[in-house]
């Protein structure tokens, strides 16, 4: 009975100590280990970790290989783990610090390593209640991952397939390096052209979208049009044989025309060459030909004076009549036939055509003098 009383007293004392310290019992890992407890009050930091692996509570927290705290609690937060770290109060850490899940050795225990990313400079100070998000946390390769990768290498696994693929690529590329280089250059220019016309492509896609919307609104009209065109398609289907014959005849005509043009090519070239001087002379005539046509097509009144010569229902005529003795003796009298044939004054003749009229002795065709 005395031993039982002493045991109960010891349990009561431990319970009192735990209650006084304000701690909760959550398994053996909730009891601080000797040399691993945070002295004083310290401050807590929350770390979000994608995979806690085999990490347990009371595991150390290190910075620059120096233990600065321990892990108080590990919880699930959706699909990732949430750790609560207890950091020694007098340890000053940068505010942009990150966290990684590390391991002391291949078969050693795991711990959390706090460090600033190599691409950043330490800034600020890590405060109580700070949260290190998933974006700033990571992990080193675990023992399981290392062993599985080693097993993959030692057992061959997909290396033989990689070797086969490499050999086939070497056979395909061998001797075609210049073509592949030019292909890459062409692809680069093609992609560059697409990038330069990105706005035009976007505008074209938007235009196609508007066209599609308009066609969707006009679907009834389009359906009616398709229905209306069906009889015409039936007629074309019925005339399919004749259309085929017509196209075949057009093809034969094209063949004949091609043959004729081919056979007459030399003559056509010669005719064009002979036509060149005529065209050159026409070009040399310049403005003289159009000016001459103005008069030739409007004899006896040039087109430039027709509005002054003909006014309404009368005609203005300016006539110069030459009845001088020289004109009568040299032009009028010689035009009169020598043999009047009994012509009287009333039987007047046209002095312009009388010398060439049939029956005139002066006409060479009638045996007159030439």
Could you read off the pLDDT of 186-198 as tens digits, one per residue? 899 999 999 999 9
Least confident of 71-75, 140-144, 290-294: 290-294
- In this predicted structure, the answer to whether residue 6 has a pLDDT above a threshold of 50 is no
CB 88 within 8 A of CB 114: no
Of 44-48, 229-233, 312-316, where does the model show the most confidence?
44-48
Mean of pLDDT values over 8-12: 45
pLDDT, position 25: 46
CA dist., res. 202 & res. 229, Å (int) = 35
CA dist., res. 115 & res. 99, Å (int) = 6
Could you read off the pLDDT of 207-227 as tens digits, one per residue? 999 999 999 999 899 888 888
Q: How far is CA 136 from CA 61, 115, 287, 334, 335, in A?
A: 16, 10, 90, 131, 129
- In this predicted structure, the answer to whether residue 26 has a pLDDT above a threshold of 70 is no
In sequence order, the 6+-apart residues with CB closer than 8 A to the CB of 238 are: none
Mean of pLDDT values over 338-358: 55
Biggest alpha carbon–alpha carbon distance for the chain = 196
CA dist., res. 272 & res. 147, Å (int) = 90
CB 201 within 8 A of CB 208: no
Greater confidence (55 vs 356) lies with 55
- In this predicted structure, the answer to whether residue 338 has a pLDDT above a threshold of 50 is yes
Q: How far is CA 197 from CA 22, 187, 188, 194, in A?
A: 69, 15, 14, 5
CA dist., res. 80 & res. 48, Å (int) = 7
Nearest to 109, CA basis, from 117, 100, 101:
101
Could you read off the pLDDT of 155-195 as tens digits, one per residue? 665 666 777 888 888 888 888 888 888 888 889 999 999 99
């Amino acid at each position: 009975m005395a031993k039982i009383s002493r045991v109960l007293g010891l349990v009561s004392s431990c319970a009192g100590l735990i209650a006084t310290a304000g701690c909760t019992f959550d398994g053996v890992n909730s009891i601080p280990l000797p040399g691993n407890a945070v002295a004083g009050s310290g401050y807590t930091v929350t770390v979000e970790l994608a995979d806690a692996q085999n990490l347990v509570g009371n595991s150390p927290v290190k910075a620059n290989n120096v233990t600065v705290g321990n892990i108080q609690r590990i919880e699930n937060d959706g699909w990732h783990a949430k750790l609560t770290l207890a950091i020694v109060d007098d340890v000053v850490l940068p505010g942009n610090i990150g966290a990684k899940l590390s391991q002391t050795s291949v078969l050693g225990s795991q711990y959390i390593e706090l460090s600033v990313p190599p691409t950043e400079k330490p800034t600020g100070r890590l405060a109580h209640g700070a949260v290190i998000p998933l974006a700033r946390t990571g992990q080193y390769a675990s023992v399981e991952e290392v062993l599985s990768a080693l097993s993959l290498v030692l057992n061959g696994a997909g290396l033989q397939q990689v070797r086969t693929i490499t050999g086939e690529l070497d056979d395909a590329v061998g001797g075609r390096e210049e073509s592949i280089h030019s292909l890459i250059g062409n692809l680069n220019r093609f992609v560059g052209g697409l990038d330069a016309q990105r706005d035009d492509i976007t505008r074209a896609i938007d235009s196609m979208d508007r066209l599609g919307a308009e066609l969707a609104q006009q679907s009834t009209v389009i359906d009616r049009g398709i229905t209306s065109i069906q009889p015409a398609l039936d007629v074309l289907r019925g005339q399919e044989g004749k259309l085929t014959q017509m196209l075949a005849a057009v093809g034969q005509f094209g063949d004949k025309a091609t043959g004729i043009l081919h056979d007459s090519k030399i003559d056509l070239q010669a005719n064009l060459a002979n036509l060149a001087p005529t065209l050159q002379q026409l070009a040399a005539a310049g403005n003289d030909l159009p000016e001459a046509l103005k008069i030739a097509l409007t004899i006896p009144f040039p087109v430039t004076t027709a509005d002054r010569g003909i006014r309404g229902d009368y005609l203005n005529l300016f006539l110069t009549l030459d009845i001088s003795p020289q004109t009568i003796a040299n032009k009028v009298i010689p035009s009169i036939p020598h043999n009047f044939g009994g012509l009287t004054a009333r039987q007047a003749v046209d002095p312009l055509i009388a010398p060439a009229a049939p029956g005139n002795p002066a006409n060479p065709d009638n045996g007159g003098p030439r």
